[in-house]
Amino acid sequence: MSEDGEKQFDPTEQKLRKAREDGDVPRSAELNSALMYVGFWLATAFAAGWAVPRWLRMAARAIGAEPWPDAAGHSVMDLSTALAGFAALATVGFILAMGVPVLAGLIVQRAITFSPKKLNLDFGRINPLKNAKQKFGTSGLVTYGISVGKVALMVVGGWFLYRFLLSWLMTAEAMDDLQWVDGLGDILRRATMLATAVAAAFAIIDLLWKRIEHRRRLRMSRKEMQDEFKESEGDPHLKAARRQKGVDLVLNSMLADVEKADVIIVNPTHYAVALEWKRGSGRAPVCLAKGMDEIAARIREKARENGVPIWSDPPCARAIYASVELGDEIETEQFAAVAAAIRFAEEMRKKARNGWGSAVATKKGKR
């Protein structure tokens, strides 16, 4: 089975994000070319409207077709500085008009990335076999087809444009008074519009292909999907360990509350609930801790360590365990049984204060 056949799953968002961090993003060179033509068209529009007339006027003055304005009071240095400033302004405007669309295209493609890995020496980039596969594989053939199609369409369009402009240039009106010079800007705009239209059409095709090829190249096998899941969600054993650690934290927090309880109601071996009653609060007793079997044994042990009375009432212990959540008040039907447990706890504490024994005692309630 081929490698592409094994990679049957689309790339996940995590893999796409990692590829972007490594500088691997779909880039369309044809889109950049089309945007460069757009920038060139903007530049020629700027030049035709402002720069070209001034350059032509200076050229006419240079060849003597038009007199120079009165330069009295101005030094040669002043005139040179003015001409240099004009040339610099025209050049900067031309470059900006061409560069801004290309930069905007890179931003839209999210193709501006910085990856330190790209600075590392990678001999795989100069691997002849790998490069040959890229050039003569599917991707290379598609790129070649796009280039040939673009050149062919430009040649055909250029031929028709040339025929149209040639017929216009041969007319007497175009040749009189050097009108053909004024028409140079229009000729340049028409040629640029043709190149832009052709480049835009193939840029759309190239951009779609680059995105499809990029996702196809990043497709994942079942093993890669499993490895990524383990990396992101964690190994099942580690995940179980983290879950157990979370349970231990909750359990330790619950056991720490046992020392604040007024009484522990138990089913001698299976159930244990710790209750707190704040006198004068107007609230019913609150469940601080509860558990079965091993946890119940730890609650009883914690109660003995902290001198909390233990009251044995299996029906009440089972009922509170089943119906009351941690931090909630007991149910109304449990008031009588809990009141008996609290009275017992108060008696045990009173005896302990009077020196009659320990408050840690266990007594069976009514069944």
Q: Give pLDDT, residue 157.
A: 85
- Are 310 and 269 within 8 A, CB to CB? no
- Are 117 and 23 within 8 A, CB to CB? yes
CA distances from 310 to 10, 31, 108, 258, 321 (A): 61, 80, 71, 11, 16
DSSP designation for 177: G
- pTM more than 0.85: no
Angle at 17 between CA 15 and CA 23, to 5 degrees: 105
Of 333, 320, 335, 247, nearest to 288 by C-alpha is 320
Q: Give pLDDT, residue 273.
A: 92
Q: Give pLDDT, residue 182.
A: 61
Residues 145, 146, 149, 152, CA torsion sign: negative
Structure tokens, 238? 């580690």
- 153-201 pLDDT, tens per residue? 888 888 888 887 777 666 645 555 556 656 666 777 778 788 888 888 8
Instruction: Using the predicted structure, report yes or no on whether residue 335 has a pLDDT greater than 60.
Output: yes
At residue 8, the 3 state secondary structure works out as: coil
Alpha helices in the chain (DSSP H): 3-6, 13-21, 29-46, 52-62, 76-108, 128-136, 138-169, 172-175, 179-182, 184-217, 222-233, 236-256, 293-305, 314-323, 335-353
Structure tokens, 221? 């096998």
- 281-294 pLDDT, tens per residue? 778 888 988 888 88
- 45-63 average pLDDT score: 62
DSSP output for 75-134: -HHHHHHHHHHHHHHHHHHHHHHHHHHHHHHHHHTT-----GGGGS--GGGG-HHHHHHH
DSSP designation for 308: -
Stretch (H or E) spanning 270: none
Pairwise CA distance, residues 333 & 293, whole Å = 25
| Domain boundaries along the sequence of the chain | 25-217, 246-364
Pairwise CA distance, residues 275 & 311, whole Å = 11
Pairwise CA distance, residues 126 & 49, whole Å = 48
**CATH code reported for the domain at 246-364:** 3.40.1690.10
Q: Give pLDDT, residue 367.
A: 46
Crossing angle for the helix pair 76-108 and 52-62, to the nearest 10 degrees: 150
- 96-142 pLDDT, tens per residue? 777 777 777 777 666 555 555 555 555 555 556 655 566 666 777 88
Q: Give pLDDT, residue 128.
A: 60
Tell me the residue length of the chain: 367
